Each structure stands twice: as structure tokens, then as C-alpha cells.
């Protein structure tokens, strides 16, 4: 059973001083507003409303911590790209988000959500550049893959992989749909290895031997990783 099945809400944070003690392992979920981040979290946890799903961009305004057991946490970050919020509020979110991502000791990696119909937006690239100095792993979920044909999805997958090959070698990417559950098991299996010390905390490299269903480190069918 995936570690995500045990998810329960733990706390919400709007100020850096309120962050829980940096113990255990945390994985952050980030993405552009309305890219399907909350739906992805709900799909991984096999819940309907663990993370609130809203049609309004910027609904997630705090860092929301979900306990997965044994000092393991999923951290739902504020969606970025929100245009309809005051500049002061947006600035506060960006400072909170940036400081957390770049300095949090217990953060092992980031799951970056991209709508497969609009991948690699300028803000997505900015997020990758922002997180790159940490040298921690990133796994990209190309959400809403059910909106494209299989051929179209594979084409986008290869395009995103090509970009990541040049800019972020610690990154892996896969197709994902919370609607038809494409890629849910693959994503869950990969992220379970992060929580289970399948990721080197110094290099951010995912341990090949810890990926279920792998063959000499190859990812499952709809997932690609840098060589």
C-alpha cells in the first residue's frame, strides 16, 4: 500500500516562523494555479477532498502539511501564476514559497505539476531555475493527459524531457490523469522511494534499485527520467 493512503491533514503555515520542526522527510507539491495540483494529490491519496479542488486560481494560499506517518509529510504549496490577487499578497506568498523551497532541510524533493496542454510555461521554468541550486530531485506530472490522444501525450512527454535534459538532470517526468488514473500507480511507487530513502539526500539522485517494476533503473511505461 502506498504511503499516500495514510495522509491526514497536519497544519497550515502562512509565516516562516510557524513551520514545523524540520524532522523526517517532506515532499513538496508545486504548480501553476489550475494545473491540477489538488486533483493529483487527491488521486495519489485515493481521496475525494484531501486537498481542496477549486476553479478559482490561487485558492491554496498557505503551505498545507499532510502527515503520512513516521515523520513523513506531503506539503501542498500555493499555486503560482495567480493574477487576481493583490501584489502585496503575491509578494508574501513568493517569499514564503521561495524561502521554504531553497532552505528547508527536511525537504527531499519537489513534485512539479504541469497541465499537459500548457507545459513549460515561463513560471514553470522559473520554478525549476529557482529550485535547481538545491540539487534536489524533481518529478514532473503532466496532468490532464486524458485531454490528449496517446500519440499527442507521448509527443509532449518527449518535448518536456528534452528540455529537462538540458536544464535539470535531476528531473523525471510522466503522464498523469486524476480522471482516468493514468500514471497514479507509477507516481505513487516512485514517490514512495523518496520517502523510503530511495533518494540520495546529497545528490538528489533517485536510487535505481528502489523503483518498483524497473529494469536497471528504467521508469514505468509512461514515465521518463534523465540518463
Fold (CATH) for 3-225: Rossmann fold (3.40.50)
Cα separation, 159 vs 105, in Å, equals 32
At 211 the pLDDT is 31
At 70 the pLDDT is 85
Written as tens digits, the pLDDT of the chain (227 aa) is 678 888 888 999 999 999 999 989 999 999 998 899 989 999 999 887 676 544 444 445 789 999 998 899 999 998 887 656 677 877 887 888 889 999 999 999 999 999 999 999 998 998 898 899 999 999 999 999 999 999 999 999 999 999 998 888 889 999 999 999 999 999 999 999 999 844 444 444 434 323 322 333 334 445 565 54
* Full DSSP string of 154-218: HHHHHHHHHHHHHH-TTEEEEE--TTT-TTHHHHHHHHHHHHTT-B-TTT-PBPGGGSTT-STTP
**β 171-175/137-143 pair status:** parallel
- Helix H or strand E encompassing 43: helix 37-45
At 201 the pLDDT is 41
At 26 the pLDDT is 97
- Residues 22 and 104 sit within 8 Å (Cβ to Cβ): yes
Q: Domain residue spans in the chain?
A: 3-225
pTM over 0.85: no
Close Cβ partners of 173 (under 8 Å, ≥ 6 residues apart): 139, 140, 141, 142, 157, 160, 161, 164, 223, 224, 225
- Residues 94 and 126 sit within 8 Å (Cβ to Cβ): no
**Each residue's pLDDT tens digit, 165-208:** 888 888 999 999 999 999 999 999 999 999 984 444 444 443 43
**Each residue's pLDDT tens digit, 138-156:** 999 999 999 999 999 999 9
Buried residues in 204-223 as b, exposed as e (16+ CB within 10 A): bebeeebbeebeeeebbebb
Cα separation, 121 vs 95, in Å, equals 20
Cα separation, 188 vs 183, in Å, equals 8
C-alpha count within 13 angstroms, C-beta hemisphere, residue 147: 12
Cα separation, 144 vs 3, in Å, equals 23
Amino acid at each position: 500500500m502506498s504511503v499516500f493512503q495514510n495522509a491526514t491533514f497536519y497544519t497550515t503555515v502562512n509565516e516562516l516562523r510557524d513551520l514545523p520542526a524540520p524532522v523526517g522527510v517532506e515532499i513538496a507539491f508545486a504548480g501553476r494555479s489550475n494545473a491540477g495540483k489538488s486533483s493529483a494529490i487527491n488521486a495519489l491519496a485515493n481521496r475525494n477532498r484531501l486537498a481542496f479542488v477549486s476553479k478559482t486560481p490561487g485558492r491554496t494560499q498557505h503551505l498545507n502539511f499532510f502527515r503520512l506517518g513516521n515523520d513523513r509529510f506531503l506539503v501542498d504549496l500555493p499555486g503560482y501564476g495567480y493574477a487576481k490577487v493583490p501584489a502585496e499578497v503575491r509578494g508574501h506568498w513568493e517569499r514564503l514559497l521561495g524561502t521554504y523551497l531553497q532552505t528547508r532541510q527536511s525537504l527531499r524533493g519537489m513534485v512539479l505539476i504541469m497541465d499537459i496542454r500548457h507545459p513549460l510555461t515561463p513560471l514553470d521554468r522559473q520554478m525549476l531555475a529557482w529550485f535547481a541550486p538545491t540539487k534536489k530531485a524533481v518529478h514532473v506530472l503532466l496532468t490532464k493527459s486524458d485531454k490528449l490522444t496517446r500519440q499527442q501525450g507521448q509527443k509532449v512527454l518527449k518535448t518536456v524531457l528534452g528540455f529537462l535534459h538540458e536544464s535539470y538532470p535531476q528531473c523525471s517526468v510522466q503522464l498523469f490523469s486524476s480522471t482516468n488514473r493514468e500514471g497514479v500507480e507509477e507516481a505513487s511507487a516512485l514517490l514512495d522511494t523518496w520517502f523510503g530513502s530511495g533518494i540520495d539526500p546529497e545528490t538528489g539522485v533517485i536510487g535505481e534499485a528502489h523503483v518498483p517494476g524497473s529494469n536497471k533503473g528504467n521508469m514505468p511505461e509512461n514515465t521518463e527520467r534523465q540518463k
